[in-house]
Structure formats: structure tokens, C-alpha cells
Amino acid sequence: MIRSLYDWAMRRVSGPGGERWLAGLSFAESSFFPIPPDVLLIPMVLADRDRAWRLATVTTVASVIGAGLGYLIGAFFYEAVAEPLITLYGYDAKMASFRDLYARYGIALILVGGLTPIPFKVITISSGLAGLNPLVFMAACVPARAPRFFIVAALLWRFGPPIRAFVEKRLVSVITLVTLAVILGFVALRFL
């Protein structure tokens, strides 16, 4: 089942609408959706390594724009939108300490959050909630997100065929590891 789903996804993301899906997922992940864009970026680059830099750019730009929405959710819609999301993810008890951290380490938190499996939407919503300067916030999102996506693209561009063979041979293990990384990101956030 996983193999047929993988093959189906590889055909879809390689098609003309693949970049729109990648941009949409990147945008949503930075503001409200729990699935990281790597799940589309990786197979798209593996399917067409010549587009690696373009795909990393699309992912970065859409992620930064989505971060703006996350900031707005935190700044203006916390009670109506963000608070239920934060409660859904189980982070409501940590918000007070998170606000204190932002007062001291806001830019560093954005940079760390953007480069790690910590869900970036929590960083973006918290930045708006904490009232971090929006221009500083948006400027910090670019170096927080770009390296993550460009490093993935660069590794896949350079080592694409062996990585693709590895992924396809060990598909279930790779999907399990990616899922565990996302879960560990959520768990790590609980300890902040």
C-alpha cells in the first residue's frame, strides 16, 4: 500500500500542479497545518533534480508568506483561532513561559524553530502573540527557513540517485523515520 501511494505521489508531484501543492503545503505548515513541506519537497526533487533550486525557492517563499499568516493569527486572532490550535496540539500550558522566552530570545527562537523539526506554526503564532516586531519577524523567517529547504535540495541534487534508490528500497523505514522526526518535534516543544 505504501509503495503504491509513493508511486502515485511521485507521479502527481512531478506533474504541472506539483509546485502549487508544494507552495500550498509550505504556506499552511508555517501557519496552521502539522505536516512539514519536506514530504513533498523530497519526492519532487528526487523526481527531477534539475528543479531542486526552484523547488527549494518555492518552498522557502511560501513558508515565509505562511509565517506571516501565523503571525497574524497570533497577533489578532489568538482567542478565536490560535488558542484552539495550541490547545489541540497540547501547548496551552506552555504559552506563558513561551511569552517570557520571546521577550528575551525571540529572534533566536525563530532561527532555531525554523531549522529544526519543532513545528514552525507554533513559532509563528507565538511571535504574533508575543508582539514581536513584524518586520524583524519576517526578516528572521528567511534565514530560519531557507537553509533548511536548500540543504535538503542540495543533498538531493548532489546525491539524488543513490538517495532515491535508498528511499525506494527502504520506503517504510524512511516514512517511519520522518514521522518520528515530526512527533519528536512536537515532543521537544513540550519541554521548552
Q: Which pLDDT tens digit goes with each residue over 11-43?
A: 766 777 889 989 998 999 999 887 788 888 888
Locate the domains of the chain by residue range: 2-190
Mean pLDDT of 57-62: 97
CA-based Rg of the chain, rounded to a whole angstrom? 17
End-to-end CA, the chain = 37
- Rounded to whole angstroms, the Cα distance separating 51 from 61 reads 15
Band (53; pLDDT cuts 50, 70, 90)? very high
Please state, in angstroms and rounded to a whole number, the distance separating the CA atoms of residues 7 and 41. 15
Q: What is the pTM of this model?
A: 0.76
Burial of 53 (0-12, 13-18, 19+ CB in 10 A): middle
* C-alpha grid cell, residue 116: 529544526
Is the pLDDT reported for residue 109 higher than 70? Answer: yes
